[in-house]
Amino acid sequence: MRTCTCVRDISILLSALMAFWGCSTAHYRQSADREAYGIIRQKTPNVPGMTPEFSIETQGAPDLAGLPALDKADEFMGDEGKREIGSTVLTLEQALSIAVKNSREYQSQKEAVYLSALNLSLARHQFAPIFSGTASGTYRRTTRDLTQFSDAAAIFNRSPELAQGIGTLVGTPGDLLSSYAQLITSASRLTGLDQPQAHVVDDRSLSGQTGIGVGVLLSGGAQIAVDLTSNFLRFLTGDPRVSATSALVSSIRQPLLRGAGSKVVKETLTQSERDCLYQLRAFARYRQEFTVNIASAFYRVLQNHDAVRNNWAGYKAQERAVERQRALSQAGRLKKSELGRTEQAELDAKDAWNNSIRVYKEALDQFKIQLGLSTDAQVALASSELDELMLKELAVPAVTSEDAIQVALKARLDLYTSRDQKDDADRKVTVAANGLKPQLDVLVNGQVTSSGADNLSNLDFERSQWGVGLDADLGLDRKQERNTYRAALIALDRATRALSLSEDNTKLQVRAAYRDLEQAQRSFEIRQLGVKLNQGRVEEQDLLSQAGRATALDQIDAQNALISSRNALTAAVVDHTIARLRFWSSMGILYIKDNGQWEEVTDDKRS
């Protein structure tokens, strides 16, 4: 029964400890979040385009409830269209909102920002007062042999002396006293009372040590440390002695040459501050590219969906052409070879339609992964988004490519980082040069111990100990520091070249984006004419077919050309839209809202 009670008590104790540990870890996590998010909020105003709402907390599976569902299948989708009934229909804005909350890649980028802020919090911490507290206790038990004479043995061993003393006092003759002494000695030897006896002694003691301290690193390089310690020792058995002391110890170390100066001492903090800023800039730049990629993928899926519709229309047109030519063949007005060619064209059109459905479904599944959805999610994209895009008047930026380059050189966040990284490299050369100096530190230390009882209030400051000294290192071996300095010079040259390369790459990207946009505009105009031209060819071939004067080859060629031109027109509209977004992004002026939607750049001229 007692054993069960002990087990129960131990279980309760362990449960309490586990509960305390769980609360403790939750506290540390909340503390880290509070400090990291505070740093991010502090630096966000310095990064144009950075969202003020920032969190790395995941929201689980996206909630698609309340969004419209597809209630009618598109005929051109065939059996796949029936399977899509009930799917959630997403607009581009809804897709972007889901992506910024659920994209795995987007989440990783946010975590990189958080980790940079977390690293900065540690770098800042080294210049704050750092407290430490220690405590230790030891219980010791030792056994040892102790050899000593009993009281009776002590009396017998001294009996001869006592007998002689008594005899002298009472006037007993000497020979008689000697006989008495020999008799007593013989008796003690015979009985063994003159021999010492061994005993086992059990010593038990309790010792402990407590200490509390604080250390501060100043921006000038001075290191200040103060420690308060207390030691005690108590014997629990035998002689109950108590030994206890307390001491207050302080020290100051101030570098005068090597390691001196705010720039050198705060180098780690300075670099951490700038690295956090760089990561925020990279994330703001990433948000632009992420939005463009999501919009591009969204429109590409709709483009593939439209290709299914165009290929289905072509397949149906070939099917009608086969029916007409089969009737003409039965009437003897068309060769069988002509009919066979048309029937083969029908089969090719059907195969192209089926293949376009496959391409569309694969593109849709890939887009789901980009959004952070499962490929099993039943979603479809709003085809009305493409219809509206086809009706829009395409806009061309009002700036020249050279004007756009000047904007990019002033607005691109990655260029700001390249310039700052060159400054970092220049600063590190100065820090590395400081490492070549000899070390000369001033040391000041002092100690005060307790007097009398072990009590902190009994610290005897009148009997304190203190000293001042110098700690010097002439630096006779500076190979590592020499190599570090030379490497810093090379890093500066590299950073200078990297900045020049970044500026040239920016110019290249802006010019390329501008050319792509111009080409997309020209391509759109050409594709529009192509659709009109091929639509006329198909109508002409239909009239000739009704008159029995059309050839199968001409009909097939006209129908295929119409399908290709329609697909090409859709691609041209999508290409122009994406090229316009990439052009703004290359200039660094594509600003993204919290939901991932971009703000339209209105400084355009209409074509």
Q: Is the pLDDT of residue 526 over 70?
A: yes
66 lies in a domain?
A: no
Strand order through the sheet with 242-255: 130-148, 197-217, 223-235, 242-255, 439-449, 465-473
Q: Within this chain, do residues 505 and 539 fall inside the same structural domain, yes or no?
A: yes
Half-sphere exposure of 46 (CA within 13 A, CB side): 16
Q: Within this chain, do residues 431 and 571 fall inside the same structural domain, yes or no?
A: yes
Stated pTM of the model: 0.81
Q: Within this chain, do residues 295 and 323 fall inside the same structural domain, yes or no?
A: yes
Number of compact structural domains in the chain: 4
Point out which residues pair with 227 in neighbouring strands.
213, 249
Q: Within this chain, do residues 397 and 464 fall inside the same structural domain, yes or no?
A: no
Mean pLDDT lowest for which of 204-213, 301-310, 538-547, 597-606? 597-606
Q: What letter represents residue 279's amino acid?
A: Q
Q: Is the pLDDT of residue 187 over 70?
A: no
DSSP labels, 15-43: HHHHHHHHHHHHHHHHHHHHHHHHHHHHH
Residue 485: which residues within 8 A CB-CB, separation 6 or more? 429, 432, 433, 435, 436
Among candidate residues 453, 473, 493, the one where a domain is terminated: 473
Domain that holds residue 33: 1-46
* Per-residue tokens: 455: 């009590």
Q: Within this chain, do residues 558 and 514 fall inside the same structural domain, yes or no?
A: yes
Q: Within this chain, do residues 166 and 236 fall inside the same structural domain, yes or no?
A: no
Which has more pLDDT, 568 or 173? 568
428 lies in a domain?
A: yes
Average pLDDT over residues 145-150: 61
Mean pLDDT lowest for which of 8-17, 255-264, 294-303? 8-17
Q: Within this chain, do residues 252 and 108 fall inside the same structural domain, yes or no?
A: no
Q: Within this chain, do residues 4 and 107 fall inside the same structural domain, yes or no?
A: no
Residue 386: which residues within 8 A CB-CB, separation 6 or more? 299, 302, 303, 305, 306, 570, 573, 574
DSSP state of 259: T
53 lies in a domain?
A: no
Q: Within this chain, do residues 406 and 521 fall inside the same structural domain, yes or no?
A: yes
567 lies in a domain?
A: yes
54 lies in a domain?
A: no
Reported confidence tier of residue 498, pLDDT bands at 50, 70, 90:
very high
The pLDDT, as a whole number, for residue 5 is 47
Q: Within this chain, do residues 270 and 395 fall inside the same structural domain, yes or no?
A: yes
For residues 603 and 306, the answer to whether their CB atoms sit within 8 Å is: no
278 lies in a domain?
A: yes
- 3-state class of 49 per DSSP? coil
Q: Within this chain, do residues 418 and 377 fall inside the same structural domain, yes or no?
A: yes
* CATH code: domain of residue 537: 1.20.1600.10
Which has more pLDDT, 133 or 252? 252
End-to-end alpha-carbon separation of the chain, Å? 94
For residues 367 and 297, the answer to whether their CB atoms sit within 8 Å is: yes
Q: Is the pLDDT of residue 239 over 80?
A: no
Q: Within this chain, do residues 399 and 508 fall inside the same structural domain, yes or no?
A: yes
Q: Is the pLDDT of residue 72 over 70?
A: yes
Average pLDDT over residues 272-298: 96
Reported confidence tier of residue 444, pLDDT bands at 50, 70, 90:
very high
Reported confidence tier of residue 287, pLDDT bands at 50, 70, 90:
very high
499 lies in a domain?
A: yes
The pLDDT, as a whole number, for residue 198 is 63
Average pLDDT over residues 30-41: 94
The pLDDT, as a whole number, for residue 7 is 45
65 lies in a domain?
A: no
Residue 296: which residues within 8 A CB-CB, separation 6 or more? 578, 581
